[in-house]
Amino acid sequence: MTQYQIEPIGYIQSPYKQKFAIPRQPRLIPQAQAKLIFAPNFNREEFVRGLDEFSHVWLLFRFHETADKGWSPLVRPPRLGGNEKKGVFATRATFRPNAIGMSAVKLEGIEYKNGQLVLLLSGIDLLDGTPIVDIKPYLPYSDSLPDAQGGFADDRPETELNVEFSQQALAFCQHQHDFPELQGFITSVLKQDPRPAYKKSKQGMQQYGMSLHCFNIKWEIESNLNTVIEISKQSDS
Across 86-90, average pLDDT: 94
Confidence of residue 24 (pLDDT cuts 50, 70, 90): confident
Q: What is the CA angle 148-150-156, rounded to 5? A: 110
Longest pairwise C-alpha distance within the chain: 60
pLDDT score, position 190: 94
Question: Measured between alpha carbons, how far is 60 from 97 in angstroms, rounded to an integer?
Answer: 15
pLDDT score, position 153: 82
The residue among 134 and 21 whose pLDDT is bigger is 134
Q: What is the CA angle 228-230-232, rounded to 5? A: 130
pLDDT tops 60 at residue 177:
yes
pLDDT score, position 67: 86
Across 208-221, average pLDDT: 94
pLDDT score, position 82: 77
Question: Measured between alpha carbons, how far is 168 from 47 in angstroms, rounded to an integer?
Answer: 46
pLDDT score, position 44: 97
Question: Measured between alpha carbons, how far is 26 from 106 in angstroms, rounded to an integer?
Answer: 9
Among 36-40, 77-81, 146-150, 207-211, where is mean pLDDT lowest? 77-81
Mean pLDDT rounded to a whole number for the chain:
92
Question: Measured between alpha carbons, how far is 230 from 217 in angstroms, rounded to an integer?
Answer: 6
pLDDT tops 80 at residue 69:
yes
Confidence of residue 220 (pLDDT cuts 50, 70, 90): very high
Burial 70-99 (b: 16+ CB within 10 A, else e): ebeeebbbbbeeeeeebebeebbbbbbeeb
The ranges assigned to domains in the chain are: 10-151, 162-233
Percent of the chain residues past pLDDT 70, beyond the cut? 99
Is the C-alpha dihedral spanning 62, 63, 64, 68 positive or negative? negative
3-state secondary structure of 150: coil
Across 96-116, average pLDDT: 96
Q: Does domain 10-151 have CATH number 2.40.30.70?
A: yes
Contact 234, 216 (CB under 8 A): yes
pLDDT score, position 236: 67
Confidence of residue 156 (pLDDT cuts 50, 70, 90): confident
pLDDT score, position 237: 52
Across 89-117, average pLDDT: 95
pLDDT tops 70 at residue 172:
yes
Confidence of residue 85 (pLDDT cuts 50, 70, 90): very high
CATH of domain 162-233: 3.30.2310
Contact 124, 12 (CB under 8 A): yes
Q: For residue 206, what are the β-bridge partners?
A: 221
Among 33-37, 58-62, 85-89, 155-159, where is mean pLDDT lowest? 155-159
Across 128-137, average pLDDT: 98
Across 49-55, average pLDDT: 98
- DSSP string computed for 37-105: EEPGGG-SGGGGTTGGG-SEEEEEEE-TTTGGG---SEE--GGGTT-S-EEGGGS--S--TT-EEEEEE
